[in-house]
Structure 1
Amino acid sequence: MRYLPLSDADRASMLEKIGVESVDDLFVDVPEEARLDGPIRGLPTHASEMAVEKHMRRLSKKNLAAADAPFFLGAGAYRHHVPASVDHIIQRGEFLTAYTPYQPEIAQGTLQMLFEFQSQVARLYGCEIANASMYDGSTACWEAVAMASRIARGKKKKVVLSGALHPHYAEVVRTMAKFTEDEIAGAPPSLTPHPDDDGLIARIDEDTSCVVVQYPDILGRLPDLPRIAEAAHEKGALLIAVNTEPVALGAIEAPGNLGADIVVGEGQSIGVGLQFGGPYLGLFAIRDPKHVRMMPGRLCGETVDAEGKRGYVLTLSTREQHIRREKATSNICTNSGLCALAFSVHMTLLGEKGLRALAAENHRLACLAADQLGAIEGVTLLNAHFFNEFTLKVGRDARALVRDLADKGVLAGVSLGRLYPDSDGLDDALLVAVTETTTEEDIHTLCAVLKEALS
């Protein structure tokens, strides 16, 4: 029996209080085509537990899983090998503490892990301070924009987005900016071997609070961060660098070392599986400690107890659960703790040498794939440089091509037409990602089926 704590009169009173006529009015912002108009189709309305399990297994067999096929999908979510020891360690009892470590005396395992996590992210990003993680990369990107606005004290309202910023990240920024006075200045992506740094710099003016640049960008290219940082700082703006593939930072320079003021990104690649798109892990760090009280989320710190023994505590919490709402920097109320723990464990197992070796193997295999795929008649490699992800021009609709190759058991990549459905000139572009889980046999298989599909 359903538990219904409210009577009809209770609900009517609540609706009247907030100024709507019905519960349906609360969902007007959800597009009508995205709302359920009845029971979920394809599922039985009544069945035994065993029957439901069998039905769900039949449905699951329609999927082509990442581990069951040559896999070249990326665009912000990457398939990497996660050692079995990560799953073992994150289940240890010392980490099974409170969701929020309000009481440090019983949450030392969680607090120490978060302290180590912050240290790892700060070093990875080339920054001074990192917080105890956020929801995911896209929301961390918006929080960085909001932080830049706070630093500018509302005097600068223009946010310049690189045209090569992941479109989902850009959309989150635009969505959240509807509730602020920030002006979002975006641009379409340019299919060129190098990022359009000149065009980006030309859009920075005296009213710009921040410039948001992805590194590597959505096409796999590397923007000139020092040059962009110099141009932003000349106008009094902050540079926000977004990284969706942290393994790349084992091979390329950390954004903070290149002039980025705020560095954010997605931590999924390290310790966290693809997981059907989530939960994932937002990383957030700053270069200048003077801005620490403008950061969202919370910070863990190291201290000593009354007996002089080392201990860990929540040092700074700027979210609305801890301080007055009007003084809060964010309403983010979680730090994706389990994913942060998995990230930290995996990073500890790798170490600096392991991360560099992992990055080198990713790049080696990506170069091998790019050379072989670019040699196919009708295929052109776009990138002048890349880490483990690159863009191909395939001479036909890439969305249809991806579906055709999936029917042949190969997950060939992500079409830019899917990412940018309203942009012209991107329909024949295919984004291909290669990681250490890709074998040379997988690359040969992709080349063979692509040749056949384009012949």
Structure 2
Amino acid sequence: MRYLPLTADDRAAMLGRIGVRHVDDLFRDMPADARLSGPVEGLPLHMSEMEVERALSAMARKNLTATHVPFFLGCGAYKHHVPASVDHLIQRGEFLTSYTPYQPEIAQGTLQYLFEFQTQVARLTGMDVANASMYDGSTACVEAIFMARRVTRRAKALLSAGLHPHYVSVAKTLTHFTDDEVMTAVPVLTDGAPGDDIAALIAAIDDETSCVVVQNPNLFGHVADLSELAARCHEKGALLIAVVTEAVAFGAVRSPGAMGADIVVGEGQSIGGGLSFGGPYLGLFACNHKHVRQMPGRLCGETVDAEGRRGFVLTLSTREQHIRREKATSNICTNSGLISLAFTIHMSLLGEKGLRDLAALNHARAVQVAERLAAIPGVELLNGPFFNEFTLRLSVEARPAIRRMADAGVLGGVALGRLYPGEASLANGVVVAVTETQTDDDVDNLVAAYEEAVSC
């Protein structure tokens, strides 16, 4: 039975106080086609518990999952092998039930692993300091834009054409009610490096620019040297925000910090995390020491107690729950604690050599697959250095081709037409991701699926 403590008069009084006539008026900013006008079609109004379980299981069986078919999807979420020890350790009671470490004297374990996590992220990104994590890569990206505004006192952000369109969409959503100006560009597939718009970004930086946001490797898999872009940003007093959606790339690609980035954000899912149909994921956030007081979230630090023993505390927490709202850098109220723990355990098991070896394996495997696919008539590999993702241009429209592959039991990549609907110039583009999890049989099936798809 639902418990509804408010009467109709109570609700009417509340609506009257805030100046609306009906609760639906609170959702007027949501597009009409995104709102339900009634019960979800196809779902019964009531069922027993066993019937619900049976019905939902039948729905779940319609999914084509990464564990059951050859899987070559990426674009921000990656299938990597996660050792069984990671899942075993994060399910220990002291980790699984832990929450925000308000009292350091009883949360030393939580504070310590967050401190270790911060250390790992700072070293991976090449930055001075990292926070205890954000919700995911896209929200971390927007928080970096807001941080750049606080630092530079400017409100114009330039977003690379190679930035994931979902990240762009989140940025536009969260800046909708602010006066931030978000400048974006639509990517163009060329015979050179796909989506490589570094020169265009450099030309667009002016005295009003707060930051330039660039993904590396970008959506198309292309890896770029950000050093010149960083120098140009700094000449104009702007910050360079580097976005990394594939954390394994840290084992092979020069760190953003070493290339001059001021803020590095990213998605940490591919180390310690499963695909999980989209979440929960892990936002990474790191910056230079001089900007640390403008960093959102919280920062765990190492100290000593009255008896000289090593201990851990919350060193910086600039969220509105802890300080006055007008002085808060963010309203994010927690961190992705359990997922950051999984990241930390997996990174500890890998170590530096293990991460470098894993990254090298990913790259070598991707090169092998790219060469085989490029040999197929009707499949063109777009040039440019890449890590473990690359872009293809097909002789046919990509979305129907990818659908035919899926119907045949092969998830052959992400069609750019899905990410950029209505952009005819991108309709034949496909992004393919290759990791250590694909077998030789998987690759053979992928090649056969592309041969069939482009021949139709």
TM-score, reference length from structure 1: 0.97
Quick check: 188-197 or 108-117, which moved more?
188-197
Work out whether 1:345 is the aligned partner of 2:345: yes
Query: Partners in 2 of 1:224 and 1:356 — Cα distance?
Result: 19
Q: Give 2:255's aligned residue.
A: 254
Q: Sequence identity, in percent?
A: 66
**8 Å Cα contact 1:305-1:311 kept in structure 2:** yes
Query: Partners in 2 of 1:441 and 1:273 — Cα distance?
Result: 22
**8 Å Cα contact 2:381-2:393 kept in structure 1:** yes
**8 Å Cα contact 1:190-1:196 kept in structure 2:** no
**8 Å Cα contact 1:97-1:107 kept in structure 2:** no
Query: Partners in 2 of 1:274 and 1:176 — Cα distance?
Result: 25
Deviation at 1:203, TM superposition (A): 0.7
Q: Give 1:371's aligned residue.
A: 371
**8 Å Cα contact 2:95-2:338 kept in structure 1:** no
Q: Give 1:50's aligned residue.
A: 50
Q: Which amino acid aligns with 2:47?
A: A
1:297-316 pair list within 5 angstroms? 297-316=297-316
Q: Which amino acid aligns with 1:266?
A: E
Query: Partners in 1 of 2:173 and 2:37 — Cα distance?
Result: 25
Deviation at 1:262, TM superposition (A): 0.2
Deviation at 1:237, TM superposition (A): 0.6
Query: Partners in 2 of 1:138 and 1:66 — Cα distance?
Result: 23
Q: Which amino acid aligns with 2:220?
A: L
**8 Å Cα contact 1:164-1:190 kept in structure 2:** no
1:211-360 pair list within 5 angstroms? 211-286=212-287, 288-360=288-360
Query: Partners in 2 of 1:422 and 1:131 — Cα distance?
Result: 38
Query: Partners in 2 of 1:96 and 1:58 — Cα distance?
Result: 29
What do residues 332-363 of structure 1 show as CA deviations (whole Å, max 9, x unaligned)?
11201111111111111111111011101111
**Aligned pairs, number:** 452
**8 Å Cα contact 1:302-1:311 kept in structure 2:** yes
Instruction: Show structure 1 runs of 4+ deviating over 3 A.
Output: none
Q: Which amino acid aligns with 2:438?
A: T
Work out whether 1:66 is the aligned partner of 2:66: yes
Q: Which amino acid aligns with 1:306?
A: A
Deviation at 1:186, TM superposition (A): 1.0
Work out whether 1:141 is the aligned partner of 2:141: yes
Deviation at 1:298, TM superposition (A): 0.4
Query: Partners in 2 of 1:39 and 1:320 — Cα distance?
Result: 37
Q: Give 2:448's aligned residue.
A: 448
From 175, 188, 191, give the equivalent of 2:189.
191
Q: Give 2:156's aligned residue.
A: 158
For the residue of structure 1 that corresponds to 2:82, the secondary structure is: coil
TM-score, reference length from structure 2: 0.97
Q: Which amino acid aligns with 1:442?
A: D
Q: Give 1:416's aligned residue.
A: 416
Query: Partners in 2 of 1:48 and 1:185 — Cα distance?
Result: 51
Quick check: 123-132 or 59-68, which moved more?
59-68
RMSD between aligned residues: 1.1
Q: Give 1:91's aligned residue.
A: 91
Query: Partners in 1 of 2:47 and 2:246 — Cα distance?
Result: 43
For the residue of structure 2 that corresponds to 1:425, the secondary structure is: helix
For the residue of structure 2 that corresponds to 1:132, the secondary structure is: coil
Q: Give 2:406's aligned residue.
A: 406
Deviation at 1:97, TM superposition (A): 5.3
Query: Partners in 1 of 2:171 and 2:252 — Cα distance?
Result: 29
What do residues 235-261 of structure 1 show as CA deviations (whole Å, max 9, x unaligned)?
111000000001011011110111000
Query: Partners in 1 of 2:395 and 2:439 — Cα distance?
Result: 26
Q: Give 1:173's aligned residue.
A: 171
Query: Partners in 2 of 1:29 and 1:441 — Cα distance?
Result: 49
Q: Which amino acid aligns with 1:294?
A: Q
